[in-house]
Amino acid sequence: SKPNRKIDFGNRGKTLEDELNETNEFYLSRNLAVIHKKPVPIQVVKVDYPSRSSAVIREAYYRTASTTDYNGVWMGRYIDFEAKETKNKTSFPLQNIHSHQMEHMENIVANQGIAFLLVRFSTLNRYFLLPYQVLKSCWEDMNKGARKSISLNIFEDKGFELIPKAFPRIDYLEALEKMVHQIQS
Amino acid sequence: SKPNRKIDFGNRGKTLEDELNETNEFYLSRNLAVIHKKPVPIQVVKVDYPSRSSAVIREAYYRTASTTDYNGVWMGRYIDFEAKETKNKTSFPLQNIHSHQMEHMENIVANQGIAFLLVRFSTLNRYFLLPYQVLKSCWEDMNKGARKSISLNIFEDKGFELIPKAFPRIDYLEALEKMVHQIQS
Ligand SMILES: [Mg+2]
Ligand SMILES: [Mg+2]
């Protein structure tokens, strides 16, 4: 069930990426974790050199990311996650996740890293961490013909909710700690 | 001292990046580690959309990387390194490393991650892992007016040499294991 909130810290039009940047900068400044968003991979085709010291890329293309959005270190542990937002109110569409991202997270978990999905239900102003293991079972069900989305109920039952606060608004390490504790026990 | 080699596996004109890609693909296929090179960060200024489904970047600029080249997971541990090659035969020039990369590695180590430099002395066909802690002390000495390079002696004494082999040519996990064992003991 939805937890009580004394104050409702709305996202005020910020993207999830903006919110996570703010959080990650806070973690970095306090030595709580070092997590960065990976640059978008771009295939460069043509470069001009108008002067000796500068290069201008004149033709390039976005490539599909073969991994996830964010990775880094928390207490020596390797952390890896994909962050997604949806306007849906009752479920998260699995088409938002690519099969190569699933493969990447599978590899991470096989090497004892921590992989998860961080989802913002923007309309509801609710945030969840979903362990890769849960995502995987929904994904496999979908491939067997089941629903193509993860219902909010599953996030509530098997995910770890993150309650927005004043600053940093999206403080995901607390939920992460609970998640890791449960996976390890 | 330089170890004996029965067979000399030359790098045959491959860049260090090519060699590391081959190694990392091997590690991935065997579930030994998941290490990727980060995409080069590019600032996109102008994008054309010649059709609904395609985007062509028409103006963009290379940005200076604020972190290191490679990161990933090995046995649950967070791994982070910068890879550099030099044609010098007696030392590695410290100007190859930027201060923001030093800061990044400092943050990694402060969060119990494993940070190091992987150097190829191309002319010598020798490879070393140098723990961040050793790099840091050379860097600090430089800032106090000492030499602006790390001598080969320091790599031999305080680094971990990696002996090229048939396949993958650059198998750095063995040297990494020795390094981690020494740092922890
Ligand atoms: Mg994303
Ligand atoms: Mg490099």
- Kind of pairing between the strands at A114-121 and A126-131: antiparallel
CA distance linking residue B143 with residue B152, whole number of Å: 20
Our CA-based measurement puts residue B108 at a distance from the nearest CA of chain A, in whole angstroms, of: 7
- Convert the pLDDT of each residue in A41-89 to its tens digit: 999 999 999 887 789 999 999 998 889 999 999 999 999 999 999 999 9
CA distance linking residue B66 with residue A111, whole number of Å: 26
Q: Which residues contact B64 (CB under 8 A, 6 or more apart)?
A: B41, B98, B100
- Kind of pairing between the strands at A77-86 and A126-131: unpaired
The answer to whether position B89 is within a domain reads yes
Residues of chain B positioned with their CB less than 8 A from the CB of A62: 55, 57
Geometric angle at alpha carbon B63, from A81 and B26, rounded to 5°: 50
Check CB contact under 8 Å for B38 and A33. Answer: no
The answer to whether position A11 is within a domain reads no
Q: Which of B11, B6, B1, B7 is nearest to B123 (CA)?
A: B11
* Cα of A119 from ligand 1 centre, angstroms: 9
Residue A113 and residue B77 in contact, taking contact as beta carbons nearer than 8 Å: no
| pLDDT at res. A31 | 97
Does B89 contact A at CB distance below 8 Å? no
Q: Which of B148, B45, B136 is nearest to B82 (CA)?
A: B136
Q: Say which residue, A80 or A12, is predicted with more confidence.
A: A80
The token pair that represents A169 in the structure block: 């608004």
Number of domains in chain B: 1
Which amino acid does the sequence have at A64? Answer: T
CA distance linking residue B159 with residue B167, whole number of Å: 22
Domain that holds residue A107: 16-184
Q: Which residues are registered as beta bridge partners of A36?
A: A71
Chunked into runs of 10 residues, chain B (185 residues) has average pLDDT values of 53 89 98 95 93 88 91 98 97 94 98 98 97 97 92 98 94 97 83
Our CA-based measurement puts residue B181 at a distance from the nearest CA of chain A, in whole angstroms, of: 15
Q: What is the DSSP string of chain B?
A: -PPP-SS----TT--HHHHHHHHHHHHHHTTS-EEEEPPPPEEEEEEEEEETTEEEEEEEEE---SS-SEEEEETTEEEEEEEEEE--SSEEEGGGS-HHHHHHHHHHHHTT-EEEEEEEETTTTEEEEEEHHHHHHHHHHHHTT--SEEEHHHHHHHSEEE---SSSS--THHHHHHHHHHHH-
* Cα of B96 from ligand 2 centre, angstroms: 9
| pLDDT at res. B183 | 81
| pLDDT at res. A8 | 55
CA distance linking residue A12 with residue A7, whole number of Å: 14
CB atoms within 10 A of CB A143: 11
The answer to whether position A92 is within a domain reads yes
The answer to whether position A4 is within a domain reads no
**Which DSSP helix (H) or strand (E) runs through A137?**
helix A132-143
In this predicted structure, which of A16-30, A99-113, B10-24, B120-134 has the lowest mean pLDDT?
B10-24
The token pair that represents B9 in the structure block: 């596996």
Our CA-based measurement puts residue B117 at a distance from the nearest CA of chain A, in whole angstroms, of: 18
Please state the separation of Cα A183 from the chain's center in Å. 18
What is the domain-level CATH number for residue B132? Answer: 3.40.1350.10
| pLDDT at res. B1 | 46
| pLDDT at res. B161 | 98
Please state the separation of Cα B40 from the chain's center in Å. 15
Q: Which of A170, A81, A95 is nearest to A125 (CA)?
A: A170
Which amino acid does the sequence have at B117? Answer: L
Q: Say which residue, A99 or B4, is predicted with more confidence.
A: A99
Check CB contact under 8 Å for A73 and B78. Answer: yes
The answer to whether position B11 is within a domain reads no
| Residues of chain A numbered 48-87 and touching chain B (CB < 8 Å) | 54-62, 67, 71-80
ipTM score assigned to the predicted complex = 0.89
The answer to whether position B7 is within a domain reads no
Q: What is the mean pLDDT of residues A149-161?
A: 98
Check CB contact under 8 Å for A111 and B73. Answer: yes
CA distance linking residue B80 with residue B116, whole number of Å: 7
The answer to whether position A79 is within a domain reads yes
The answer to whether position B2 is within a domain reads no
